[in-house]
Structure 1
Amino acid sequence: MSGKRGATRLGFAVLLKFYTQFGRFPRNRTELPGEAVEFVARQVQVPALELESYDWTGRTVEYHRAQIREHLGFRECSVADAEKLTAYLAEHVAHKERRPEQDRVELLARCRTESIEPPTSGRCDRIVGAALRKAEETLTALISSRLTLESVERIVALVAGADKDDPDVMT
């Protein structure tokens, strides 16, 4: 906080407070409750109205985010992190929990445990989707490996017979 004044000081303080409370950064000013901004403004001795001149899209906010991540011991989610998170979800969560919204909760909890800044909403959706697909593929492979040759032949014959009787049955 040293060396920061006015809107920059308040913006930094609000980002820090929001991150420590919610485990992520606010997407924009509208996510910040007015009472919380007033409270933080009093703490840092900057008028709350100063926040209106804080630039939420420029280099300053990116620098502030980097400083906060470093201070709190977090890092941005890398491609390698996303792959590890996908594998973790597929192995430990998605094989028993098929609801994407619950898998997303587990993903965010895992990010916090691993000190990873949560990915964007769209990236979270892709990680969860990939984990669900991977868990399904693993389960399918497990079931398939347990089928006898006779069972496989009977399933193939059943599907082939259904196609001959009614071509629309499988569509």
Structure 2
Amino acid sequence: MGRLVVGISELVEHWTVLDDELELVAGKRGPTRLGFALLLKHSTRYGRFLRGRAELVDEVVGYVARQVGMPASELRLYAWAGRTIEYHRAQICDHLGFWVCGVVDAEKVTQWLAAEIAVAERHPAPPAARPPGPRTARRCSGCTCAPTAKSAWTGVSLVDRPQTLTAAGLRGGSRKLEVNTSAAAGCC
């Protein structure tokens, strides 16, 4: 798979180091400054940490390196494993407001999923009614003759009645097909 080319608009929108981020980067020196800045920007862009240099496009490295005042070649000296990167990840999580999910957090998420998502999936909105085409109208009205140029349907409509969703499924309600066959010349 070839490397992607990054345009100037994406560089400016997603890879510009903001003022509050520059304050975090300012405490770093050497290759860790550039590595930290790239790790931070990648995390804010993609919501996950970099696994290594291979995930970065050269244009991005050069753009961020110019902002933090480092040569792009310094990135080859950044340690992608060990205590330093673990500390950097912890700082980035703290800066972005991420934390490790605990039991209380898991219970809150479970309650929210049960109340909001599960209810919506158990009670989906009914599909929008669409008028049937001529073939569907003929099948529904019991007519089996083939469509001809002479036969024309003038009044086909669906009438919806309210429905109730229960644990057993849809109950009540109906959909009635009303067909005016007066203009259906030649229909059996």
Q: TM-score, normalised by structure 2?
A: 0.45
Q: TM-score, normalised by structure 1?
A: 0.48
Higher gyration radius (CA): 2
The structure that is strand-richer by fraction is 2
Query: Which has the higher relative contact order, 1 or 2, with Cα contacts under 8 A spaced 6 or more apart?
Result: 1
